[in-house]
Structure 1
């Protein structure tokens, strides 16, 4: 059984859900309808009629009823075949507590299996175990009551984990934190948290700050189990800071047993941490201390201090290369200490329901660049901005996490940061399918476009399926920004929440959907005579000329003109005026240093190289159009493409990429990148078949890797040519490939990649 915890609004429901793939033997001795009736008697209430007709629905309804028996008010259960005619079912059930939902589903599978076979099943014992688990994980009554009142007011409620009673109410700089203790403290609960190693660890993990692997235990047998997992290389500490601050470093079972007895003396949980992790991790945070000069350490400590709301912090850091370090530095100042009653009163009176403005951006192409455009404009307004992209997590311009950060946990890291006044979150298909949204609502949801990409994965078989996934973002938005040139985006109007507004954008001033929206008094943004225009129930106003936006490459990068339209609409919806939006777009820099792999343009010798992450037909068509426009400036110059796509795409998708590239480029070099289950070279061969079938350019070569393809294309480049290197994984891939055949050219690329005169762009 494969499971996914969809922790927020998702493809199936606006509520958190557990999605699982189950396989069931339909050849049981008891018909499903009779099994459903028997299960209803065991559970003390009849199951819905649908449960007797479908084995997946039967499992889903039993799992839902088991959770209801724990006092959880839930009503959504869904089942569908994994594919047409497939025996496997996808079961989706709403939940209140993750661990309870997982146990309920496992119990439901056992109960249904026994009922279908006609076997006896000890339902009372199973129910008792489930109820005990639910009770153990439930919030204390005082915090649960406060959480209910906050939710009724629309205030977001986020629990640090189901094993900790720390609850965050609200987002970013407007958040409050509470635990089950009637103590005077700051709105961030700073004084309480820094004295509790479990709560400190939970917040460091949420903030994407490295901490050693570890856990909290209350029994020796659990401590020994953890010790074995860490190969007996552990540090033992008391959970609560204060009094005896001794720590014990253990290297064996006997040492751990003795250390646990000392740490556990007088009661209280014990923290165990591995000391083999590294290279750099936070192990403690409190106030005051000495300074350390290492820049990476200081960045780590600044994040830790700010997360806890400390104006001055002493942060303990372990570096396996250098040993223990301690630094002191400024964090985010807090508003002061308040008694518990006053903290509750102020929370429940929190302006804007404790929410910071949140703009979420989704679509097939253009997400990263549009996200960065919007975030740049927000920062120019002086607001502390939290941003997630495929490159990382950023608080203002400080990177706090690296990699593809477009899903649930990255978004939660931003929304949980006290340093953030405004969130701009790139939201990708994968994150939506794997974890759902990290937010219940957003001020602005942007849906840029939908085209064939990643089809045949995770149950997404068609572009319509993909559009349904991506429209999850705009379905929870107060204002949806939609591309009027894309029928899937226009269709998403039907998914908007009651009372939500919409802003349409279009590259065509005469677009029928846009004109109709304008006629009905709706706000719209469009391109007219190469200028971005904005109307919102009044006369249209110009914002900026497309060619004045550096990322559009003088207007040739039409996809970045479209991205600029979307950014304009989103910023307008968030309350920014046209003058500010125009100024922001005119100063937005998108190059290899600030927006790598998004149409980074390099001048080398007497030609240009465009580096881009393009890997689907729409992106290749857009890149080819820009390259041809650039090459047209020099008589006889060519648009040359070094292209690929990962092997997990379907044959038809790879051929379509080949067909698109055949029309987009004058010369093609197809290479194998990520085979992903295919024989090495097969994906490139299928793309090349598509090129030939479309009667592609006269020059077509295939290669086993990127370096050989880039080098072959580079050698053929002449005066004015534009070479597009697509689906690259890093700027260094291009530089190192060129270095092997032209060291001086590689040096020029290196200087530009560092921000010394590099060009702009970005699909």
Structure 2
């Protein structure tokens, strides 16, 4: 018997992807939801569910869903679909209610978890998107079983108000929309209107209509209305007579000297607040003074002559007039039967009117100031104006006080346009709002008696982009033209490097090549954020937040990002696209985490960087890895192969065919003199470098760095670097601690050869073990009868699977004589010693099967493990330290190099109870 439906839909997990991700090419929100008993109740089994849902969110009727036509989702509802899918569409519909045109979404069941679904949908504003998801789930549960505490109308209104609080204002939104239409990237830098357009060295910032090009001095001048008037008057521009005062008595004296009527306004106010117009006598000036003084930040008030006429706003951008609007004060028009209060209510019912700047028009407030204006016309709120009578409710025409605008852009007299442009230039503003008061903008103000009453920094665009009457003006275009002239770049090249092993070294090689070309490179890696070879932040910076930090840095003109699996699953890429994507390999590591259980799923995650390649970009792929090879199908741009396969192999045949079609590849060509890295482009072949002459390859022995060099060279070639610069970069890049800390660093400590590396998984240990074998063959011993020993200090992270930990130990045992197992400082959910024990078990199993290793020890603390290994090592031995904190390990090794040892070379810090440390007695 089917269980009775109960409101069981719950959100188990929430993720916000801020860039391309495994689910979508664009930013998205991911909810993991559990339907509970509702898994047994699709929509067609719930009486009246669909009808009630469509009543509450009628916009759902427009959703096409998978049917690809209007009403497709309603068909799915009637046929029966699961409620996780319904929640997805509700989240989209809620965002559409507040004007966010988002239509991307999908719902998929979580593998092996019946009733649990992945719900993914796009968003414009992160907070609004999250709130939409939460409200969507509550709505679905309410429709399953009514919740008496759930008031849909109140919840929807609260959601709309929340969206309005976080939304961009009309001016900022217009500029951002124009930037998006030109493919200019943008980042919101705070919860308000501070936005970055462009990336790195090309970045510009805007805050509403102030830009990074706006002069601070010009803003200060425009804020000082007295100084503004003096400067404009000195330039011969028409301005009213005015003086600044500090007291009401001074205001009265100045008004008498200027001549009534006058205007009293704050020296440094805005939005028309505190402005009192058409004051006819001394009493009116005294009443107006405290109103203006309250809105003045510095306490100064301006008294100026009252200029009669209409109120016009001229918008000047980059020295040119782009729009003019006539501003009409808030008013109502009588119909002969309605009171003023009813007329105001009818006017405010216009859906275009909202609170403040949230909509294109602002609601009229019947506050004390409005009622005073009303009384001046002989009316009260209960008065019934005659039909056609215009009743003013404000003296100024500001949109923020409920006024309306009429577009007059193409009606202004050329002389008035010239005056406005000169006024903006005189003040020094790149974007300026020039306020004219004159009888008619179509006539020269010098003849009609008009004047410039104010110059505004950061003028609002709303009256021009959404005029109440007339054609809207697309004024965001000249703003973006000013910041990014046609042909000017807005993006910096981005190279993204991913793979199981080798990411950090390859990223450093690529950065080194471009640094040598004079570029200011911003790089992220597991070691931190590096800007122009300066380590700014020491942390695991292989995620999307670090990438955004680099893109915000104004010095960076080239970015190299190490992209890790965890960051992609957690937040996506953190940027829209990368010009070059490098995929080194896909090996079984980090399996069993965040729903990634197979190496094929891991490949899908890492393929996100390939999917983020535009048509003009390139994907640099390892042709030797079958999983990486398959990623070519997900690339919109060009594929550049790299391979270590020998000529005549199947992989090389594939690459040769690719190049015959005009493709690019980097391969190894063996010869009697060694291996040559060759660049293939079409039918041409260009020699790049001998592998054994590259310092990072240890005379060709470090095969992992031969592969990394191929990948780095291919990425640099795809990014447009000349071959001689790539060659020079590879020849000068070494694995010394300063260029590549913690990655195959070689030091000699009292005759012991020490290799410091970050190897922490089984695939990496195979590569490191191959290197150890190649290096071990060349070692010479100071003891005639003893071969050099190989000592390995190994560890892995606690969040790996048990089998992976044992496998690491088994592989290490094939290459080392002595294995010392330690643990990382961060246990990642394991008990202290548990991880080391699993690794030790793997070593023991390999020893029992006849592996090279003869002894395994556990020393949990990293520095103690290093001391233990160095104490037992003899001259000529090879000691490999797989590090967690490489700086501390290198410091400890340096201490050992500088110590004067007693006896047989024991460390002075060694515990006397350990026989490996005990000094030999002369007796």
Q: TM-score range by the shorter chain?
A: 0.7 to 0.9
**Helix, strand or coil at the partner of 2:687:** strand
| Matched residue, 1:312 | none
Name 2:757's counterpart in structure 1.
612
Matched, 1:479 2:490: no
> What is the rounded CA distance, in whole Å, between the counterparts of 1:475 and 1:155 in structure 2?
20
The answer to whether the 8 A contact 2:749-2:896 is kept is: no
**Aligned-partner SS, 1:521:** coil
The answer for the alignment partner of 1:39 in structure 2 is: 53
Deviation at 1:112, TM superposition (A): 1.2
Deviation at 1:632, TM superposition (A): 0.7
The Cα offsets for residues 419-470 of structure 1, whole Å up to 9 and x where unpaired, read as: 1111112111122122212221221111111111111112221111111111
C-alpha separation between the residues in 1 aligned to 2:137 and 2:568?
26
1:524 & 1:37 partners in 2: Cα distance? Answer: 59
1:356-371 residue pairs with structure 2 within 5 A?
A: 356-371=492-507
The one of 804, 823, 844 equivalent to 1:692 is 844
Which moves more between the two structures, 589-598 or 526-535? 589-598
TM superposition shift of 1:366: 1.1
CA distance in 1, matches of 2:115, 2:26: 27
State the superposition RMSD in angstroms: 3.0
Specify the SS of the correspondent of 1:354. coil
Cα distance, 1:355 vs structure 2: 1.1
Q: CA deviation at 1:48?
A: 5.4
With 630-639 and 579-588 compared, the bigger mean Cα shift is at: 630-639
SS at match of 1:664: coil
Equivalent-residue separation in structure 2 for 1:447 and 1:28 (angstroms)? 39
1:94 aligns with 2:122: yes
Choose the corresponding residue for 2:605, options 445, 448, 469: 469
Judged with a 3 Å threshold, the aligned counterparts in structure 2 of structure 1 residues 442 and 692 are, in CA distance, closer, same or farther, namely: same
**Equivalent pair of 1:177/1:189 in contact (CA under 8 Å):** no
Which string of whole-angstrom CA distances, capped at 9 and with x for unpartnered residues, describes residues 148-194 of structure 1?
A: 22212211122223x2212222111122222322x5x5448877999
Partners in 1 of 2:538 and 2:218 — Cα distance?
30
User: Which residue number in structure 1 is paired with residue 720 of structure 2?
Assistant: 575
Determine if contact 1:30/1:116 at 8 Å carries over to the other structure: no
Aligned equivalents of 1:734 and 1:87: distance in 2? 52
Corresponding residue for residue 587 of structure 2: 451
Partner of 1:505, secondary structure, is: strand
- Conserved 8 A contact 1:165-1:179: yes
Aligned length: 609
Question: 1:572 offset after TM fit, Å?
Answer: 0.6
* Residue among 647, 655, 658 paired with 1:514: 655
**Structure 1 position 111, deviation (Å):** 0.8
What is the CA–CA distance in structure 2 between the aligned matches of 1:548 and 1:596, rounded to whole Å? 21
For 1:483 and 1:28, the matched residues in 2 are separated by: 43
Q: TM-score, normalised by structure 1?
A: 0.74
- Asked if 2 retains the 8 angstrom alpha-carbon contact of 1:661 and 1:691, the reply is yes
2:184, 2:491 within 8 Å by CA — same for their partners in 1?
yes
Q: 1:744 to 1:558 in 2, by over 3 A?
A: farther
Counterpart position of 1:379: 515
Cα pair distance change 1:741/1:385, threshold 3 Å: closer
Aligned to 2:669: 528
Q: Distance in 2 between matches of 1:175 and 1:48?
A: 45
Q: Distance in 1 between matches of 2:168 and 2:700?
A: 56
Residue in structure 2 matching 1:589, options 712, 718, 734: 734
**Alignment partner of 1:346 is 2:482:** yes
Aligned partner of residue 540 in structure 1, secondary structure: strand
User: Could you give the per-residue CA deviations for residues 376-433 of structure 1, whole angstroms, max 9, x where no partner exists?
Assistant: 1111111222121222222212333221122222111111122111111211112212
Measured in 1, the distance between the counterparts of 2:669 and 2:862 equals 40
Pick the aligned partner of 1:675 from 820, 827, 842.
Answer: 827
Distance 1:745 1:736 in 2: 15
Cα distance in 2 for partners of 1:602, 1:193 equals 59
The answer for unaligned runs of 5 or more in structure 1 is 196-241, 244-263, 269-335, 749-763
Which residue, out of 130, 147, 151, partners 2:180? 151
Pick aligned residue for 1:490 from 612, 625, 629: 629
8 Å CA contact 1:78–1:93 kept in 2: the answer is yes
Q: CA deviation at 1:57?
A: 2.0
2:217 and 2:568 map into 1 onto residues whose CA distance is 36
Deviation at 1:83, TM superposition (A): 4.3
Q: TM-score, normalised by structure 2?
A: 0.62
Cα distance in structure 1, aligned partners of 2:758 and 2:185: 36
Q: Please name the residue that 1:657 is paired with.
A: 808
Aligned position for 1:279: none
Shift of 1:64: 1.6
Q: In the TM superposition, what is the alpha-carbon distance from 1:666 to its structure 2 partner? A: 3.1
Q: Which residue matches 2:769?
A: 624
**TM-superposed deviation, 1:30:** 6.4
CA contact (8 A) 1:669 1:701 kept: yes
- Look up the match of 1:601: 746
Determine if contact 1:359/1:443 at 8 Å carries over to the other structure.
Answer: yes
Secondary structure of the structure 2 residue equivalent to 1:26: helix
- Per-residue CA deviations over 1:649-706 (Å, capped at 9, x if unaligned) read 1112112212222223333222233432223222222222222333232222233333
Q: For structure 1, which segment, 667-676 or 523-532, has the greater mean C-alpha deviation from structure 2 after superposition?
A: 667-676
Where does residue 142 of structure 2 map in the other structure? 114
Q: What is the rounded CA distance, in whole Å, between the counterparts of 1:406 and 1:193 in structure 2?
A: 41
Alpha-carbon offset, residue 567 of structure 1: 0.8
Name stretches of at least 5 consecutive residues in structure 2 with no aligned partner.
Answer: 1-11, 62-72, 222-267, 270-292, 298-427, 433-474, 781-786, 906-923
Q: Is the Cα–Cα contact under 8 Å of residues 100 and 134 in structure 1 kept in the other structure?
A: yes
1:728 and 1:265, CA in 2 relative to 1: closer, same or farther beyond 3 A? farther
Compared CA separation, residues 337 and 390, structure 1 to 2 (3 A): farther
Of 143-152 and 440-449, more deviation after overlay is shown by 143-152
Structure 1 counterpart of 2:536, from 385, 395, 400 = 400
Q: Is the 8 A contact 2:18 2:575 kept in 1?
A: no
Q: Bigger shift: 476-485 or 43-52?
A: 43-52
Judge conservation of contact 1:738–1:745 (CA < 8 Å) in 2: no
Which structure has the larger Rg over C-alpha atoms?
Answer: 2
Taking the aligned partners of 2:808 and 2:24, their CA distance within structure 1 comes to 34
Give the secondary structure class of the aligned counterpart of 2:593.
coil
**Inter-partner Cα distance in structure 2 for 1:465 and 1:375:** 29
In the alignment, the residues of structure 1 paired with residue 864 and residue 888 of structure 2 have an alpha-carbon distance, to the nearest angstrom, of: 15
Aligned to 1:556: 701
In structure 1, what is the Cα distance between the partners aligned to 2:626 and 2:689? 26
Q: Is residue 711–residue 738 contact of structure 1 (8 Å, CA) maintained in 2?
A: no
Tell which deviates more after alignment, 84-93 or 185-194.
185-194
**CA–CA distance in structure 2, aligned partners of residues 506 and 360 of structure 1:** 19
The Cα of 1:54 is off from its aligned counterpart by: 2.7
The answer to whether structure 1 residue 4 and structure 2 residue 149 are counterparts is no
The CA deviation at 1:608 is 0.9
Does the CA contact (< 8 Å) of 1:455 and 1:649 recur in 2?
yes
- Report the 3-state secondary structure (helix = DSSP H, G, I; strand = E; otherwise coil) of the residue aligned with 1:455: coil
* Equivalent residues of 1:711, 1:741 under 8 A apart: no
CA contact (8 A) 1:521 1:537 kept: yes
Secondary structure at the residue paired with 2:189? strand
Give the alignment of 1:247-266 within 5 angstroms: 266=295
Distance in 2 between residues matched to 1:727 and 1:354, nearest whole Å = 40
* Contact 2:131 2:159 (C-alpha < 8 Å) held by counterparts: yes
Matched, 1:164 2:192: yes
Aligned to 2:339: none
Structure 2 Cα separation of the partners of residues 656 and 647 of structure 1: 14
Q: Which residue is equivalent to 1:209?
A: none
Matches within 5 A, 1:36-115: 36=50, 38-44=52-58, 45-46=60-61, 47=73, 52-115=80-143
